[in-house]
């Protein structure tokens, strides 16, 4: 190629040099064509990968964006003092025990006076979530002065009404083929004509724990569980992994046993994650008697899983620090430990952080090892400590995907979006840290 770059080669024409023989021109064309083909193949590969990503994201987003809205129904609720607090004590326990479902039924009765049969009244009550009475109880608990007044209140609608409002339950099919019957459709239309039914931002999705009722289900419990699990994973895997890598890379003599350890670490990084779950079950639950479903056990198991990733990334980062740095430090009298802690480790930090964050992101998306230690479970309460029962984000996605209620389909996709959001955030942080602290020699 250098001959070509030389302008003199062309300048010798019209006398045809040996570089411009027909064979040469044909060879050159072939080489250029091969290069072009490779370029197109590469572009096609990237195009295909991007297309897959677009399809994946597109299907998740198009299925899930509706979950960020939830239908609610406005009712004029009379907080009847005789019903809620007959003695007038305003005792919180009495207030909590009152029959709020009856207040809702009474209010519905005034909106739909024609519904007199028990069956009709029952179908009308089904318009609202089974959590609606608890919403009223919460309101009264927070503001006992409501008792004795009438107030227009927005209450969460049931999942079937919500799906109907979002158009996922078709209107123009036979009554027996949809989960919203004709009485309910008429009622929804009446409420809509009075602006008493509307979709608003679904805060429950972000603040509640799991529930069997899609309209009451949220992922906050899973987010807290994921956070606690990852906190344990990080507290264990980072110090142990980084120390192990430093020793192996900087201090350990090159012997057959260090090679053996190295092979084993590389091997462990490729072990299927379910194996770590089985280990967790056998060692932490059965032998040490630690609690089932607890983030502390999940964190330890995931730490074992991420350790090899962190060790490998840290060793690579340490290897990338030029030997001249170490020699200079040793040359001016630093001890080997000082050399590592004062010079090599800080310079390797961006690489270590990147490896750690990618390891953590890996742990955040893991479900298989948690299956064996009981973190794949229905847990309503938000975990309050490392030993409380908890679940994690990917498990929550799996459990919702498996639920029969159709409203969980969109919530599954919404939860996937939230998990992807966290992963993008973590990987973005890794890129940012690398860019910010990267040193080039």
Partner 1 sequence: MKTTTLALTAAAVAALTIGAAGVANAQSRDQIRAVGSSTVFPFTTAVAEAFGKTGKFKTPVVESTGTGGGLKLFCGGVGPQHPDIANASRRIKKSEVDQCAANGVAEITELKIGFDGIVMASSKAAKHYDFTRAQVWKALAKEVPVNGKMVANPYKKWSDVDPSLPNYDIEVLGPPPTSGTRDAFNELMMEGGCHQVKEVAAILTDEKARSKACLSIREDGAYVEAGENDNLIVQKLGANPEAFGVFGYSFLDQNKDKLQAAKVDTVVPSYELISSGKYPVSRSLYVYVKNAHVGVIPGIRELIGEYTSERAMGEEGYLADKGLIALPKADRDAARVSAVNLSPLKL
**Interface residue list for partner 1 (CB under 8 A):** 96, 122, 130, 134, 169-170, 173, 176-179, 211-213, 232, 235-236, 238-240, 242-243, 285, 288-294, 296-297, 300, 341-342, 345-346, 374, 376-381, 386-387, 389, 399, 401-406, 409
- Residue 343 CB partners (closer than 8 Å, separation 6+): 321, 325, 326, 329, 334
* Residue among 305 and 399 whose Cβ is closer to partner 1: 399
**Contact residues for 319 (Cβ-Cβ < 8 A; gap 6+):** 249
Whole-number minimum distance, CB 169 to partner 1, in Å?
7
Query: Could you tell me which of 21, 36, 27 has the C-alpha nearest to residue 1?
Result: 27
Tell the smallest beta-carbon distance from residue 123 to partner 1 (Å). Answer: 11
The whole-angstrom separation of Cα 364 and Cα 233 is 10
Cβ-based nearer residue to partner 1, 238 or 364: 238
| 78 vs 130, beta carbon nearer partner 1 | 130
> For residue 79, which of 141, 161, 128, 7 has the smallest C-alpha distance?
141
CB of 299 to partner 1, least distance (A): 8
Residue 59 host element (H or E): helix 22-64
Task: Give the separation between CA 139 and CA 439, rounded to whole angstroms.
Answer: 57
Q: Which is nearer to partner 1, 59 or 200 (CB)?
A: 59
Structural element, H or E, at residue 323: helix 323-331
- How far apart are CB 133 and partner 1 at their closest, in Å? 9
Tell me how far CA of residue 264 lies from CA of 109, 127, 260, in angstroms. Answer: 71, 59, 6
| Minimum CB–partner distance for residue 410 and partner 1 (Å) | 12
* 407: preceding bond cis by omega (within 30 degrees): no
Tokens of 409: 């389909």
Q: How far is the CB of 30 from partner 1 (least distance, A)?
A: 47
Nearer to partner 1, 74 or 347 (CB): 347
The C-alpha angle with vertex 112 and arms to 108 and 115, in degrees rounded to 5, equals 100
Q: Measured from the CB of residue 40, what is the shortest distance to partner 1 in angstroms?
A: 33
- CB-CB contact of 152 with 191 (8 Å): no
H helix or E strand, kind and range, residue 153: strand 150-156
Query: Between residues 312 and 395, which has the closer beta carbon with respect to partner 1?
Result: 395
Q: Are 326 and 263 in contact (CB under 8 A)?
A: no
User: Which residue lies nearer to partner 1 by CB, 25 or 341?
Assistant: 341
CB 220 within 8 A of CB 202: no
- Please tell me the distance from the alpha carbon of residue 103 to that of residue 110, in angstroms, as a whole number: 11
Decide: 335 and 267 in contact? Cβ < 8 Å. no
Q: Considering beta carbons, is residue 79 or 400 the nearer one to partner 1?
A: 400
- Mapping DSSP to helix (H, G, I), strand (E, B) and coil, where does residue 152 land? strand
Cβ distance to partner 1 smaller for residue 24 or 220: 220
Task: Identify the sign of the CA torsion 392, 393, 398, 401.
Answer: positive
Instruction: State the minimum distance, in angstroms, from the CB of residue 269 to partner 1.
Output: 21
Shortest reach from residue 405's CB to partner 1, in Å: 6
Token output for 252: 């350990």
Query: Which residue, 269 or 283, is less far from partner 1 as judged by CB?
Result: 283
Minimum Å gap between C-beta 239 and partner 1 is 4
């Amino acid at each position: 190629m250098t001959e070509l770059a030389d302008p003199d080669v062309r300048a010798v024409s019209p006398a045809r040099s040996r570089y411009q023989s027909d064979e040469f021109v044909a060879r050159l064309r072939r080489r250029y064509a091969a290069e072009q083909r490779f370029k197109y193949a590469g572009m096609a590969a990237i195009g295909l990968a991007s297309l897959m990503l677009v399809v994946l994201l597109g299907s998740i987003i198009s299925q899930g964006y509706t979950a960020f809205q939830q239908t609610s129904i406005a009712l004029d609720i009379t907080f009847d003092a005789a019903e809620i607090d007959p003695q007038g004590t305003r005792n919180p326990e009495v207030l909590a025990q009152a029959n709020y479902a009856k207040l809702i039924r009474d209010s519905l009765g005034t909106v739909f006076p024609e519904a007199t049969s028990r069956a009709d009244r029952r179908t009308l009550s089904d318009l609202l979530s089974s959590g609606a009475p608890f919403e009223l109880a919460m309101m009264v608990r927070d503001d006992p002065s409501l008792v004795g007044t009438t107030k227009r209140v927005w209450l969460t609608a049931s999942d079937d009404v919500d799906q109907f409002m979002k158009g996922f339950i078709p209107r123009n099919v036979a009554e027996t083929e949809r989960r919203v019957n004709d009485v309910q459709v008429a009622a929804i239309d009446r409420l809509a004509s009075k602006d008493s039914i509307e979709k608003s931002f679904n805060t429950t999705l972000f603040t509640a724990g799991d529930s069997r009722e899609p309209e009451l289900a949220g992922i906050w419990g899973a987010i807290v569980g994921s956070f606690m699990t990852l906190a344990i994973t990080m507290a264990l895997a980072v110090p142990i992994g980084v120390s192990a890598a430093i020793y192996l890379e900087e201090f350990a003599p090159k012997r057959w046993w260090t090679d053996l350890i190295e092979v084993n670490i590389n091997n462990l990084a490729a072990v299927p994650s379910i194996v770590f779950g089985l280990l967790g079950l056998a060692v932490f639950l059965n032998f040490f008697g630690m609690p089932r479903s607890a983030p502390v056990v999940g964190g330890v198991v995931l730490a074992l899983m991420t350790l090899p990733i962190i060790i490998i990334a840290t060793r690579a980062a340490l290897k990338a620090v030029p030997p001249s740095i170490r020699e200079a430090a040793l040359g001016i009298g630093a001890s080997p430990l000082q050399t590592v802690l004062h010079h090599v480790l800080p310079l390797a930090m961006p690489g270590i952080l990147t490896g750690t964050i990618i390891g953590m992101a890996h742990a955040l998306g893991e479900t298989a090892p948690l299956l064996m230690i009981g973190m794949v479970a229905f847990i309503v309460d938000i975990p309050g400590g490392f030993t409380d029962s908890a679940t994690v984000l990917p498990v929550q996605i799996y459990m919702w995907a498996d639920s029969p209620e159709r409203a969980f389909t969109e919530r599954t996709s919404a939860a996937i979006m939230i998990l992807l959001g966290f992963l993008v955030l973590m990987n973005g942080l890794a890129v940012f840290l690398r860019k910010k602290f990267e040193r080039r020699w």
